[in-house]
A and B are shown apart, each in its own frame.
Chain A
Amino acid sequence: MALYSLWYYLTGHLRITVQGYTPERFLNLCVQRGIHLWNIVKDGDRMQANIGIGGFFQIRPVARATASRVRILERRGLPFVLARLKRRKGLLVGALMCLAALYLMTCFIWQVEVHGNEEVPEEAILEAARRAGLYPGAYKSEVDPKRVEEQILLAIRRLGWAAVEFRGTTAVIEVAERVLPPEAAPDVTPGDIVATADGVVTRVLVFNGRALVSEGDTVVQGDVLITGRLLEGGEEGEAGPYVRARGIVRARVWHRAYEEVRVQEEVKLRTGRTFDRTLIKIGDNEIIIRGRKKIPFKLYEVKVERTGLVSWRNINLPVELIRETYFELVEVHQEFTVDEAERVAVRRATDRLLMELPPHARVLAVREAVVQAGEGFVGVEVILEAEQDIGRFVPSPSGQEQGGAGRN
């Protein structure tokens, strides 16, 4: 039906009224001649009907044969609209002008939007775009997005990427800000380099400041090695330049460690027998799903592995899978000779010292001495001589305000 309506709208149709004595015959004759009528309504002795334009030109003989009078009530459809437009040229011109004006208006940029900036002010980007020719009111085809992008990037160094896109009459500038590396301003807090340990200085390397010690000097922990005060004698209040001391001071340092070993020791050793158990822990309840409840060893060591369920967002389900491995232990009575005990003690003490050495330390010598040997035990002292960095920067307590002045 909608298709019919559309067809009749496009081809045009008429609403006619037929006045006659035998409207039935009129209808039948029309049907016979293939004149299509629709929406026929009887209105007293008159009859209204719709008829196509083609049909209307064939209706004259039918009307004459049935002695009916046919009058047009209404003209509908596109052909009539067009005919009316033809008569009213001004309307057509107005419509065309309206279209032209609309088109013309879409040739200009009405709005410039900036997206993606966080710290760079929008005005700066808009200003850079304006210089490149992109501003509200600019003629669209004269704006070269590529060039605008380049100009914006050149003008504002904080921007790492820019894209200009037209969305209708709106120009959208999409930018991404460069993440600047933190300002590599050198730390200029004034201060000295101070010894962290006692020792004999072997090397002094000054990058900044003034060395107070030289090779061969003996220093005590806390001694100033390199000072940030550049002028001699400027220690007490005198306003000399005070900078941040930089440098490396290496010294020979002696480390001591004492270790005692009993001649008779009880040592627990793994037998190699193990026992596995798997449990599920829900809340505070543990359910064994594999293995026995009773641990078959008298003496044991246990390794526990816990696997939580996959946590989703911040919700941790109180369910855990616990895998336990038990290692059987035996207690072994160990007996050392005095020599053996001494060796063990030396090894333990040396290991401890080596662990505590700072990085880049170089071991020069290790000396050990039995300092105690009593009933059933040996006490050993190990002295480790190492060359190591002993400088540590200590900011001057009064240097804060001077530090501010030294910043540039």
Chain B
Amino acid sequence: MRREVGGLRKGMAEFFELPKEIVLDLPKITMVGDLQMSVENHRGIVEYSSERVVIAVSEGHLVLTGEELMIGFVYQEEITITGRFRRVEFCR
């Protein structure tokens, strides 16, 4: 059911060339190499340590592992993390 709706919405987004992160309520993730990542449209921080940051997004969690992780900014809409990343994972 959820899949179907997603499919319809996705189709509409593609048809009308609308930004998917808004229509589908998905996080928009921008990365600068393995040094900086900013996540727009996040749902808050689930876990934070200098090796592992878990950020809640619309359909689960975004898990970022690395070293010396630092939260540069936290806003309602955007979060910026810097450090040396090793892995980025999506967990549903």
Interface residues of A (CB under 8 A from B): 23-24, 27-28, 30-32, 34, 36-43, 47, 49
Contacts and interface: CB of A to CB of B under 8 A. Distances in A.
Most buried by B among A27, A28, A42: A42
A24 B74 contact: no
Nearest to B43: A28
Contacts of B69: 42
A40 B75 contact: no
B74 A30 contact: yes
Contacts of A28: 44-45
Contacts of B70: 39-41
Contacts of A24: 44-48
B72 A42 contact: no
B19 to A, nearest CB: 23
Given A27-B45, A31-B44, A41 B75 contact: no
A236 B76 CA distance: 125
B50 interface: yes
B72 A23 contact: no
Nearest to B44: A28
A37 B49 CA distance: 16
A42 B74 contact: no
Contact of A23 (B44, B48, B75, B76): B48
Contacts of B13: none
Contacts of B50: 41-43
Interface of B: 44-50, 69-76
A103 B57 CA distance: 62
A38 B81 CA distance: 10
A31 B76 contact: yes
Contacts of B46: 24
17 contacts: A23-B48, A24-B46, A27-B45, A27-B48, A31-B44, A31-B75, A32-B76, A34-B76, A36-B74, A36-B75, A37-B74, A40-B48, A40-B70, A40-B74, A41-B71, A42-B50, A43-B50
A148 B78 CA distance: 70
Nearest to B70: A41
B75 A27 contact: no
In the complex, the 5 A-B pairs of residues with the closest C-beta atoms, listed nearest first? A40-B71, A28-B44, A42-B50, A24-B45, A38-B73
Contacts of B75: 31, 36
Contacts of A23: 48
Contacts of B47: 24
Contacts of B76: 31-32, 34
A23 B71 CA distance: 12
Contacts of B71: 27, 37-41, 49
Contacts of A32: 76
B72 A27 contact: no
B50 to A, nearest CB: 4
Contacts of A38: 71-74
B31 to A, nearest CB: 18
B78 to A, nearest CB: 10
A148 to B, nearest CB: 63
B27 to A, nearest CB: 15
A197 B27 CA distance: 121
A27 B76 CA distance: 11
Nearest to B51: A42
A24 B49 CA distance: 9
A39 B72 contact: yes
Contacts of B45: 24, 27-28
A43 B75 CA distance: 22
Contacts of B73: 36-38
Contacts of B44: 24, 27-28, 31
B72 to A, nearest CB: 6
